[in-house]
Structure 1
Amino acid sequence: MNYKNYFSALFLLLSAACFANEDIKTNSENSSKVFYLEEKLVSKEISVDELNDENFSSKIEEGYVLVDFFAPWCGPCRSFGPIFVKVAQDMQGIATFYKLNVDKASKTTSEYQVKSIPTIVLFRDGKEISRHVGSLTEEGLKEFVESNL
């Protein structure tokens, strides 16, 4: 009699484990589909190129160009980075957006007298037309660009 209870309990545990394993497979299949969809969404985003001392002048000389002077260790810069990329995507064709790491481009940073970061500078045909020091919201950044075009 003791063996019957033992085998019954073992059968129930194995059955539950099999059903649980089926759920795991289903969830795993769904999560890979979700990952695939997320991958597709990410691929539609544009990237913002990073400038340096060597290519800075040539990249800002034509049209409207917005440059984000930043540093990777700067908290407000890290918060502002995704906003800058989102607005760059939204304003594609209106202005060209670039980032400049102040730690890697000290000559340009000094030349444009950037003392605080993040600093965004708007250029038109190579000449500075406006700047903003500090982080902005998405709406604030769009307004800054549009008001200076």
Structure 2
Amino acid sequence: MEIDVTAENFNAEVLESPVPVLVDFWAEWCMPCKMIEPVLAELASDLEGDAVIARVNVDTAGDLPGRYEIVSIPALLLFKGGEVVDRHVGAAPKELLLELVKKHLG
């Protein structure tokens, strides 16, 4: 599943999620962010039921980017049990992101 997350629903959708959540911190003006959009959509489909892909627009997310020390985008943070367990900065192929999530499943 792929969802858009805001400062208002971040706790409920990400920190309290029963499954791992890969959060994509992105912006409308960011070309690498646009390049990985289809990759993340595929990932969401492949991981359906096992993990969630969430997108956070850094321009409208309040203090979330600062809270998680986002300085470059796209920044992908993997949350499990309310904690950041892994991260990747920059565009990446689907295989790399799939491995990043899979090693934290179960």
Same fold (TM over 0.5): yes
Q: Give the percent of matched residue pairs that are identical in Structure 1 and Structure 2.
A: 38
Q: Per-residue deviation at 1:101?
A: 0.3
Look up the match of 1:127: 83
Tell me, which stretches of 5 or more residues in structure 1 are unaligned?
1-45
Q: Per-residue deviation at 1:106?
A: 2.9
RMSD of aligned alpha carbons: 1.2
The runs of at least 4 consecutive aligned structure 1 residues that moved more than 6 Å come to none
Tell me, which stretches of 5 or more residues in structure 2 are unaligned?
none
Q: Per-residue deviation at 1:141?
A: 1.1
Counterpart check, 1:108 vs 2:67: no
Look up the match of 2:10: 56
Higher relative contact order (CA 8 A, sep 6+): 2
Distance in 1 separating the partners of 2:81 and 2:58: 22
Alignment coverage as a number of residue pairs: 103
Look up the match of 1:82: 38
TM-score, structure 2 as length reference: 0.91
TM-score, structure 1 as length reference: 0.66
- The structure that is helix-richer by fraction is 1
Larger Rg: 1
Distance in 1 separating the partners of 2:52 and 2:81: 11
- The structure that is strand-richer by fraction is 2
